[in-house]
Structure 1
Amino acid sequence: MLEAPTTSEFPGFDQIDQALRRAEAGHDAAEAHGSLCGLLCGLGPGAEAAWLADALPESPGNLTVTEQATNLLKSLAANTRGALEDVQMTFQPLLPDDAEALMQRVDALAQWCQGFNHGLFVAARTSAAEDEIRSGNTAEIVSDFAEMAQVAVGPDEADAEGEAAYTELVEYVRVSVQLVYEELAAVRQREQAASRH
């Protein structure tokens, strides 16, 4: 049985992935977390609610499983927002741990990048972020993430060089998301001010 962690615990990839599968969500953990991060970057209030509605569409299935998944995803969302706002730059994309095969980790990173761009563009349609997303560093990062979403690794490429390249890509994603979050701070502040009126 899945238990929702407290907000001081960051749910792991396998825990989130299992919860999404059991709830028949249609997303894997990497893509769902990428989407959350894109929404958090581009939306102020309501990012988590919009993400939960997308990640866990209502279904007449097992309500206990859906409730458990919802609690786990709420914890993930709160922890992710906290990590993005942390001045110590503690944000990490939710990906399989290094014990998994490189092919699986690269595939998850590609899904994560695809999810991020999806979330960011959903945010742009519902906020004033479109101009900011299509210019400057953010536009370059979105383009890079679109390319990374197409990356695949064959079994013969799973060597030390492939591991090093993967580590560099994950670090690029980590830093880039924090940069986008900072660049879109003014958009989120405008959204927050508008939601108060």
Structure 2
Amino acid sequence: MSEPSLVYERFERELASADIESSGAEVHGIICGLLCAGQSDAYAVLLRELLPDSPGDDLLARECTNSLRKLFDETEAAIDGPGLGFSPFMPEEEKSLKVRARAVSEWCQGFLYGIGIAGVDPEGQLSEETREALNDLIEITRMDVDALEESDEDEDVLVEVGEFLWVAAMLVHEEIVHGPK
């Protein structure tokens, strides 16, 4: 899967400097939700959601907008291109398990938000299998991050959950963009 060329921590600082309260993972989740839902003007919708006021002369907001565009373009190319698609944009593996688990939860929140603002009606547009995957994403948002321990078992579970994010997103993309099989 394709890795974004942006550095997660720097991207988070840019978001904060532009007064965007969402994490990098949540923003990437929104991007993926919009793209997987086939939103034709996904980038414009993203900007309206995150930066409702034009950056204008605000250099920090413009830098953030440039990074948002880069992450958006890379994600779109990965989702629509050949190969396995995208990797969720997450903190580096050196970060604590709790930090990375919180990012997984935030990515799920963003993805669900993205398909919601794209107008996806799960009951009317998605198969039972895909609705179940979305329900699993909802459950992941409820994960008790504080209960996690730095253990091989919890690490393995987080890796599996991270792989599931891709599967759920691709299920939505396949059904919405390419139609049910």
Q: What residue in structure 1 maps to residue 124 of structure 2?
A: 131
Match of 1:173 among 165, 169, 175: 165
Q: CA RMSD in A?
A: 2.3
Q: What residue in structure 2 maps to residue 11 of structure 1?
A: 6
Per-residue deviation, 1:136: 2.7
Indicate conservation of the 8 Å contact 1:124/1:130, yes or no: no
Runs of 4+ in 1 over 3 A off after TM superposition: 59-62
Partner amino acid, structure 1, of 2:90: L
C-alpha separation in 2, matches of 1:172 and 1:51: 24
C-alpha separation in 1, matches of 2:166 and 2:29: 11
Q: What residue in structure 1 maps to residue 94 of structure 2?
A: 99
Q: What residue in structure 1 maps to residue 116 of structure 2?
A: 121
Q: Which deviates further from its counterpart, 160-169 or 9-18?
A: 9-18
C-alpha separation in 2, matches of 1:144 and 1:108: 16
Per-residue deviation, 1:52: 1.6
Indicate conservation of the 8 Å contact 1:34/1:113, yes or no: yes
Per-residue deviation, 1:14: 1.5
Secondary structure at the counterpart of residue 25 of structure 1: coil
Change (3 A) 1:185 1:151: same
Could you tell me the percent identity over the aligned residues? 31
- 1:21 matches 2:16: yes
Q: What residue in structure 1 maps to residue 60 of structure 2?
A: 65
- 1:164 matches 2:166: no
Per-residue deviation, 1:37: 0.8
Unpaired runs of 5+ in structure 1? 1-7, 188-197
Indicate conservation of the 8 Å contact 1:30/1:109, yes or no: yes
What are the superposed Cα offsets for residues 1-42 of structure 1, whole Å, 9 maximum, x if unpaired?
xxxxxxx96213212211101101121111111111111111
Match of 1:56 among 46, 51, 57: 51
C-alpha separation in 2, matches of 1:67 and 1:170: 31
Change (3 A) 1:182 1:93: same
Number of matched residues?
A: 177
Partner amino acid, structure 1, of 2:177: A
What are the superposed Cα offsets for residues 111-163 of structure 1, whole Å, 9 maximum, x if unpaired?
110110011011116xx877214x33321111010000011233662211110
C-alpha separation in 2, matches of 1:129 and 1:149: 18
Change (3 A) 1:62 1:98: farther
- 1:80 matches 2:80: no
Secondary structure at the counterpart of residue 118 of structure 2: helix
Per-residue deviation, 1:173: 0.6
